[in-house]
Structure 1
Amino acid sequence: MRNSYQLARLFRSPTKITNRIYSRTYQRMSTHKNLLRFDYDAEQIKKQTDALIEKSRKVQDGVAALKEEERTFENVVMELSYEESEFATLESNLTFPGYVSTSKDVRDAASAAEVSISQFGIESGMRLDVYTAVKSIKDKFYNDLQQDQKRLLDRMVLDYERNGLGLDEEKRNKVMELKKELSKLCVDFSKNISEDKTTLLFTEQELDGCSNDFIQSLEKDVDTGKRKVTLKYPEILPVMRNCKVEETRKALDHAKASQCQEVNVSLFEKALKIRDEISKELGYKTHADYILDVRMAKNADTVFKFLNDLRDKLTPGGKQELQVLEKLKGGTIHSWDYNYYTRLLKETEYQVDEDAIKNYFPFENVFNGLLSIIQETFNLKFQEVTNPETWHADVRLFNVFDNDSGDFSGQFYLDLFPREGKYTHFAAFPLQCHYIKKDGSRQYPVSAMVCNFTKPTATAPSLLKHDEVVTLWHEFGHLAHGFTTKSKYGRFSGTSVERDFVEMPSQFMENYCWEKQALERLSSHYETNQPLPNDLIDKMIAAKNVGVALFNLRQLFFALFDMTCHTNPPPINSGELYEKLRLEVSLIPNHKGTNGAAGFGHVMGGYDAGYYGYLYSQVFSADMFSEFKEKGIFNKDVGSKYRKTVLETGGMKDGLEILKEFLGREPESGAFLQSIGLTK
C-alpha cells in the first residue's frame, strides 16, 4: 500500500487526555494486549513459519473432510475465516522483521518466511476439495444468509474461481500452466530493469546546473574522468530537473525511453497474449475485465469513460501550460524539457525555497499538529505508550480511543528514522487485523508506519521538507484506515479493500497539507517558533499547480496505454501504440524509434489494467475532501461521518457504495479539477 503533530502552539501533547478518560481507557487497554512478537530469532522464525503453515493446512483439511450433509456456514466458511484472520496476524510476526530488524539473519529468515507463506497461499488457493466445500454452502444456504455473510462467502468463492477452480480439470490445468508461464515473464521483465547497467558519461561541464554535492556523489569513470549517471531515479531525476545542458538531458531521456528495449518488448507482448488467453478461459471478455471484476471500477468501459472524460477536461489546461513552458524556453518543449522548465518556472515565478521552508517543519511539531487535527476532526484520542515492547529502541507505540466513549479502537507503531538494513522508503504495514473472534470478543487492529526522515542532530531537530509533510499525512491516512476499522471479518479489515479504493483515504489526508488553516497549525520555525508566514503559504499553494495539467495528462497516457493493451486482442505492436498515445494524450512527443513499454514496470509488476487507479483515487479523494471544504476542514460532524462511513467499514462494502454513501450522490471530478487550479 499506495497504503502517515501539535494542536501546534495550542496543544502540543497528543497524550493530554483528561484523568477520567485516561484512567478508564488505560484499564480497558490492559486487557487488549496485541499478539505481536518482535523477539524471534532466525531459527524461531523458520520453526514458527512451518508450524503456522501446518496449522492452516490442517484447518483446510478438516473443512475438506466434512461430508456434504455435515457442512454448515459455521464449520466451513467461518472456520476458514477465523483461520485466515488469525493467520494474518501471526504471519506479521514472521515476515515484518524482514523490513525492520537490525539483524541480517533475522531479515533473511523473514524474507524466506515470506516466500514460503506466499507459496502456501498459492497452494491454498488451488485446493479443489476446499473450494467444493465452500461452493456447496453457497449452493445450499445462500438465501438464508445475512448480507455480510453473503459478502464473505461470495468473495471466498470468487477467489477460488478466479484461480480456475470452477473449470473442468483440463481447462484448470491449462490456466495453471499459463499462470506459471506468465509469472516467469513478469519476474524476468522486472529483473531486466533492476539489473540494467546502462550508464552514460558526462563531464562536469555537461552537468552544469546540478549541485556540486550531487556531481561529486557520482562515480568517476577511471578511463575518461567523466561522471557516471545510471538510469536509477536518484541519479537521473536530479539531472532532468536541474541540468542546464539540453543535450545532456536529451541523451539521458533517450536512454531511459529505450531501457531494456531489446529484451523486454517481447516479454511484455507475450504476456499480453497469455493474459488474454487466461481471461477468456475464465469467462471474461478481456484481461482488463478480469482484473476489474474485483475492483471498484468493475469493468473496462467504466475506466475508459473515466479516463476519456478526465482527458477532455485536462487537455485545454495542458495546452496552456505547454505554451507557458515554450515561451520560457523559447522553443518546442520535448520530453527531456518538462521537468527542467517546470522547476525553473516555480523558482522564477514563485520563489519557493524548499530549504527555507523545511525550517518551519520540525518533525515533532508536525506530528503533534497532525494528531491534534485528527483528534479534533474525527473525534479520537491518542495516547503514547511508555516503554513499549518494540523491534527497536527508537520505535514508538500509540493507543487510539474514541473520544466520547473512551472505548479502545486500536494501535499504531512509528519507526521514523533510517538505520542499516531497514526498509528504505515510506510505508504503512497492517500488522494485526480486526475481526470478531469465535468467543464474540474483538481482536483490535494494529498497524506500523515505517519512515526514513532525517534524524535530529545535536543542533537541530528532524526537519521535514514540505513533500515529506505530505508523505507523513499520506501514510497516516493508511494508519487511520487501519486503527479505526470495525470490520466483522479479518479479510475485510481496514485497508483490505479494492486496490482502486485503498489509496483514497491516504490521498484524502494529503489535502490538509495544502490548506492554510492546517499549515498554520503544522508549522513552527525550529528557532523562532513562528508559523509559516501567509505570503510563503500563498506562494507554496500557487506553485503546487505549476505544470499539473501536463503531469496528469502524462498519467492519463500511461493509464490509457495500459488499458488499451489489456482490452485489444493480441498481437499488439506496443511500440507503435506507445508512440501514438504519448503524443496524442500527453501532448509531448516520445523519442522516435524507442518503446517505453519496455521500462514500464507497473504493467508487469501487479498494476496491469490498474494504472488508472492512481488518478481514480486522487479524483475521488478530492471529491470527498470537498465535503470538508464546504463545511469546514476540521468540522466534527463531517469528520464523524467520514470516520464511520469510509474508515470503519473497511472492505465490508464495495468502495463505490461507500463513496456514494459518504457523498450522498455519485462521485465526480469537479473538486479535483478545482484543487489543481483548472476550474474556479
Structure 2
Amino acid sequence: MSANAQAPTAVPKGAVVNFALSPSELLSRVEAAVEKQRAVMDAVAQVDAPTFASVIAPLGRAENEAKVDYGVATFLAAVAADEDVRDAASKAEKFDFEVESAMREDVYKVVRAVFTNEEEMAGLDDEDRRLVERMELEFRRTGMLLPPEQRERLRAVKERISDLKIAFGNCIKEDNTEALFTREELDGLPDDYFDGRDTCDVDGVTKYVVAPRYLDYFPIVGRAVRESTRKAAYVFFNTCFSDNVQRLQELVQLRLEEAQLLGYSSHAEYVLEPLMAKTPQAAIDMLNDLHAKLAPFGERELAELQALKRADAEAAGEPYTGVFIWDVSYYARIAEERKHNINSEEVKEYFPLAAVTRGILDIYQEMLGLRIVKVDNPPVWHEDVDMFEVWEADADVFVGHFYLDLHPRDGKYRHAAVWSIRTGYERPDGTREYPVAGMAANFPKPTATAPALLKHGGVITLMHELGHVFHNLCSYTKWKRLHGTRVEWDFVEAPSQMLENWAWEPEALRRFAAHYETGETIPENMLARLIESKNEGTGLSNLGQVAHGLFDLAIHTTTTGDVDVSSKYEEIESRVAMLDRGGTKTFRCARSTHMGGDYSARYYGYLWSEVFSADMFATRFKAEGISNPQVGRDYRREILRPGGTRDAMESIVKFLGRKPTNGAFLKSIGLDE
C-alpha cells in the first residue's frame, strides 16, 4: 500500500506529540518531568525491602514518562524554527538530570540490593532482568564506589562535559559565517546551485552567498573548475568553528579525568568496556587491519587523480603541484564519470526527493509488514515537515509516528540524523505509549524550475537514516532504557547500514527512480553503469573513515591528556587518509559532531558494524530475495524488535543462524578475504 494510503481507524488518544510549545512551556514541562522523576527516586531510596516491584519498576516507569517531554526538548533544540524555542530547548537539555540521577548513592543501594538478590533476579523475565543489570552497571560506572569527595568532583566533571557538548553542537548549528563567490569563480556548478541562492553586491559585482554546510560545500569541491575556488571553500568550511578546537581539547581532558576517577586508564577503556569490541585495542586492531588492506587501493586511486590533475596542468601550461585535499572530490568525480560514463547531474534527475521518499517508504513497509500513512495538514514545527502514521499491515494496530524535516534553514541541525522523540513502553494499566521518531536532514530544496533532486549519495543517506527511524518504531519493549537503538554503540549503525544496500539493487531502484519531468524510469544502461561504480573510490573513502576512527581513539586512549587535538587530526589524516592540506591551517576536528558529542571513542563502530550489516544483507536478503517478505519479518523480529533487551550478538545469530564473519563486508568494498 502506498505511503499516502488512508488508515482505517483513528490514532489512539494522546499518541500525537505537541510541538507547539512556547519557550516557557517547554522549560516548565521539562522541569516538571525532572521533579516527578526526582520524587520517584526519593521514594524508592526509602524502601526497606527492595524488590523489582518496589524499586526497579517505579524507576523504569519514571524514565519512560520523563522521555516524552525531555525527548521533545532535545529534538526541538536541533530543529525548531523559532530561535527562542531553540534556546529554551537547549537550556532544558542543560538540566541534564541524568547526571544527577546517575550519581544518587541512596538509589544505587536499593538497586544493588535487588541486583544481588539471587532469588528475586531468578524470578524475573529476561527483559526485566536485563533492566536491573543495566541499571546496576550504569550506576556502578558513574562512581558509586568512590568516596564522597571524589564523587563530587566526578559530578562536576560530568556537568561540565554536558555543557561543552551542547556548546560544541550549537557552535556549528548557529554559525552565520558566509563566504562570497562570483558566478565565474563557481564555474562548473549546475544551474540549480544558484536557484534561490542569496546574493550581495560588492563594489558593483554580484556575489553568491555560501554557508558552512555540506549542501553548499560539497558541490563546490566536487564541481568547481577553478582550484582556487575549491581551496577557498575548503579553508572557509574548515575554519568556521575554530572555538570548538578548545572545547574538544577540554572535553578530552575531562573525559580522561572522569575515566581515571572511575579506575580506568583512559576514556576509551571506560567507554568500550560494555560494547561489543570490549577493549580499545580490539577496535584499533580492526582499524589498522583495514588500513593495511585498503592502502594499496587508496594509492592506486590517488595515482589516478594525480594523473588527471597533471594532464589538466599540462593542458593549461601550468606547473603540476600535486593533488590536495580540496582536489580529491573533483577529480574522483571526473574519474568516475570517465570510467563508468556517469554524470551525477544527469543521474539526480531520476531521483526527485518526494518520489524517492515515497518509494523507499513503500519498500520498507512491505519488508517490515507495515502500513505508512502520510498525514494531511500535520501539527508540526515548520511547513517543510512531513508527518507519517505507521500501522501494522495486516491489522488495525497502531505502531507509532515519525517526522521528516529534510531541507536546510537557519539555526537547524546541519547534518542528517534521527532522534527518538518518544520511546514505546507499557503503562501500568496495560495500555501502550507509542514511539515517535524524527529525522532531520539538509537535502536540496525545490527550485523555480525543478523539484528537490537527490544525488545517489543522498538516496543512500535517506535509506540509512530511515533505517534508524524504523529501528525506533519497530522495537517493542517495556522499558525506555532498552528501546530501539539503545543497543551496544558499535552495533547501532548496523541495521541502517544494512538498508543502504537497496540503493544498489536494480529491483529496488526501478521502483522509484524516474525522471522528474517525463516520468521515465531510469534507463537500464544508466542503472547498470551506476551499480558498476559502487566500489569506485573504495580505497580513499574508507581510508577516510579509518582515519577518523583512529583519530577518535588516539585522543581518547591518552593516559596523560597530553595531546593536541588539531595537530593529531592533521597527522592521522595525512598518514592514513593520504590527504595533503597543501600547507593550509584549518581546524577540521572542530566540526566533528561525533567527537564533540556522544560518539567519543565510538566512531570505529561505523566500520565495526559494517561487518554485521554486510553479512545480514548477503546471507539472508541477497540470498533469499530482497523482496522476500519472510526475510523482512525475520529481520524485524530478530534485529529491530528486541532493541537492547538482549546482546546484539544474540540478535545477529538468531537472524543469521550462525555467528557473523567478515567475508561479506570485505567483498562488499572490493577486497578479498
Same fold (TM over 0.5): yes
Which shows bigger deviation, 206-215 or 309-318? 206-215
Aligned amino acid, residue 615 of structure 1? L
Q: C-alpha deviations, 1:257-308, integer Å up to 9, x for none?
A: 77888x7767655544443332122122321111112433222122122212
SS in 2 for 1:409: strand
Q: Summarize deviations over 1:409-445 as a string: whole Å, max 9, x none.
A: 3333445566777666544332331122222333332
Aligned to 1:175: 154
| Closer/same/farther in 2, CA of residues 324 and 670 from structure 1, 3 Å limit | farther
- Which of residues 51, 66, 85 in structure 1 aligns to 2:64? 85
Residue 317 of structure 2 corresponds to none
Q: 1-side partners of 2:571 and 2:381: how far apart?
A: 51
The 3-state SS of whatever aligns with 2:45 is helix
Cα distance in 1, alignment partners of residues 652 and 346 from structure 2: 39
Aligned position for 2:35: 54
Instruction: Report how far residue 597 of structure 1 moved.
Output: 6.7
Cα separation, partners in 2 of 1:560 and 1:48, compared to 1, 3 Å: closer
Give yes or no for the alignment of 1:286 onto 2:261.
no
2:107 maps to 130
Query: Secondary structure of 2:323's partner?
Result: coil
Counting only pairs closer than 5 Å after superposition, residues 376-395 of structure 1 correspond to structure 2 as 376-384=366-374, 390=380
CA–CA distance in structure 1, aligned partners of residues 271 and 451 of structure 2? 46
- Does residue 564 of the first structure (1) align with residue 554 of the second (2)? yes
TM (norm. structure 1) is 0.84
Q: Which moved more, 1:384-393 or 1:498-507?
A: 384-393
Q: CA deviation at 1:339?
A: 1.7
Given the alignment, which residue of 587, 598, 623 partners 1:630? 623
Q: Partners in 2 of 1:581 and 1:463 — Cα distance? A: 35
Structure 2 distance, partners of 1:93, 1:236, is: 30
Change (3 A) 1:361 1:249: closer
Say yes or no: does 1:149 pair with 2:128: yes
Instruction: Give distance in 1, aligned partners of 2:385 and 2:663.
Output: 41
How do 1:446-457 residues align onto structure 2 when only pairs under 5 Å count? 446-450=436-440
Give the alignment of 1:135-534 within 5 angstroms: 135-140=112-117, 141-180=120-159, 182=161, 209=188, 233=214, 236-246=217-227, 249-250=230-231, 253=234, 268=248, 271-330=251-310, 332-384=322-374, 390=380, 396-404=386-394, 407-415=397-405, 426-450=416-440, 462-534=452-524
Cα distance in 1, alignment partners of residues 584 and 391 from structure 2? 58
Q: Is residue 556–residue 612 contact of structure 1 (8 Å, CA) maintained in 2?
A: yes
Distance 2:239 2:446 in 1: 41
> Residue 307 of structure 1 aligns to which amino acid in structure 2?
L
SS in 1 for 2:255: helix
Structure 1 stretch displaced more, 508-517 or 276-285? 276-285
Q: Is the partner of 2:390 in helix, strand or coil?
A: strand
- How many Å separate the matches in 1 of 2:221 and 2:335? 14
Deviation at 1:581, TM superposition (A): 3.2
Question: Does the Cα contact within 8 Å between 2:103 and 2:142 map onto a contact in 1?
Answer: yes
TM-score, normalised to structure 2's length? 0.84
Residue correspondence of structure 1 range 537-576 to structure 2 within 5 A:
537-570=527-560, 571-572=562-563
Preserved contact between residue 215 and residue 444 of structure 2 (Cα < 8 Å)? no
1:356-393 C-alpha deviation (Å, 9 max, x unpaired): 33333344433332233223322333344566655567
Distance 1:530 1:435, change over 3 A: same
CA deviation string 1:304-356 (max 9, x = no partner): 22212222322222122122222222364333321221122233333433343
**Which has the higher mean CA deviation after the structures are superposed, 348-357 or 606-615?**
348-357
Separation in 1 of the partners of 2:392 and 2:207? 60
Residues 1:356 and 1:589: Cα distance change in structure 2 (over 3 Å): closer
Deviation of 1:123 (Å): 2.3
**Structure 1: runs of 5+ lacking an equivalent:** 1-10
* Residue aligning to 2:572: 581
2: CA distance, partners of 1:285 / 1:318 = 34
Question: Cα 1:529–1:322, aligned 2, differ >3 Å: closer, same or farther?
Answer: same
Spell out, residue by residue over 1:529-570, the C-alpha distance to the aligned partner (whole angstroms, 9 max, x if none): 321011111222233433221111122112112212322432
Tell me if structure 2 keeps the 8 A contact 1:618–1:672.
yes
Query: How far apart, in 1, do the equivalents of 2:507 and 2:514 lie?
Result: 13
* Residues in 2 aligned to 1:447 and 1:106: alpha-carbon distance in whole angstroms: 19
Q: CA deviation at 1:203?
A: 7.9
Q: Sort the Cα spacing of 1:561 and 1:678 in 2 relative to 1 into closer, same or farther, 3 A.
A: same
SS at match of 1:622: helix
Q: Secondary structure at the match of 2:533?
A: helix
Task: Select the residue among 33, 43, 47 that pairs with 1:66.
Answer: 47
Mapped contact 2:41–2:107 kept (Cα < 8 A): yes
Give the Cα–Cα distance (whole angstroms) in 2 for the partners of residues 418 and 299 of structure 1.
39
Matched residue, 2:607:
615
Query: Displacement of 1:609 after TM fit?
Result: 1.1
What letter corresponds to residue 312 of structure 1 in structure 2?
A
In structure 1, distance between residues paired with 2:421 and 2:589: 35
Corresponding residue to 2:654 among 656, 661, 668: 661
CA distance in 2, matches of 1:93, 1:181: 23
Question: Displacement of 1:575 after TM fit?
Answer: 6.4
1:204-235 per-residue CA deviation (whole Å, 9 max, x = no partner) reads 76665456886996766669999897866555
Distance between the aligned counterparts of 1:96 and 1:203, measured in 2?
37
| Counterpart residue number, 1:4 | none
Task: Rate the CA distance shift 1:103–1:352 in 2: closer, same or farther, 3 A.
Answer: same
The CA distance in 1 between the partners of 2:73 and 2:595, in whole Å, is 29
Residue type at the aligned position of 1:304? I
Note the C-alpha offset of 1:31: 4.7
Identify the match of residue 639 of structure 2 among 639, 646, 652: 646
Alpha-carbon distance in structure 2 between the residues aligned to 1:671 and 1:652: 27
Mapped partners of 1:387, 1:252: distance in 2: 39
Maintained 8 Å contact 2:424/2:478: yes
Letter in 2 for 1:168: P
Give the Cα separation in 2 of the matches to 1:259 and 1:454.
22
Secondary structure (helix, strand or coil) at the match of 1:65 reads: coil
Q: For 2:483 and 2:174, how far apart are their aligned partners in 1?
A: 37
The code of the aligned residue for 2:485 comes to: T
**Partner of residue 315, structure 2:** none
Using CA pairs under 8 Å that are at least 6 residues apart, name the structure with larger relative contact order, 1 or 2: 1
Which deviates further from its counterpart, 508-517 or 541-550? Answer: 541-550
Q: How many residues align?
A: 656
The aligned amino acid for 2:603 is Y
1:580 & 1:402 partners in 2: Cα distance?
51
Structure 2 vs 1, CA of residues 220 and 677 (structure 1 numbering), >3 Å: closer, same or farther? farther
Q: SS at 1:603's partner residue?
A: helix
Q: Give how far 1:678 is off.
A: 3.9
* Local SS of the residue matching 1:173: helix
Residues 317 and 678, structure 1, Cα contact 8 Å, conserved in 2: no
Change (3 A) 1:110 1:465: same
SS at match of 2:495: helix
- 2:399/2:473 contact within 8 Å kept: yes
Q: Give the aligned residue type for 1:616.
A: W
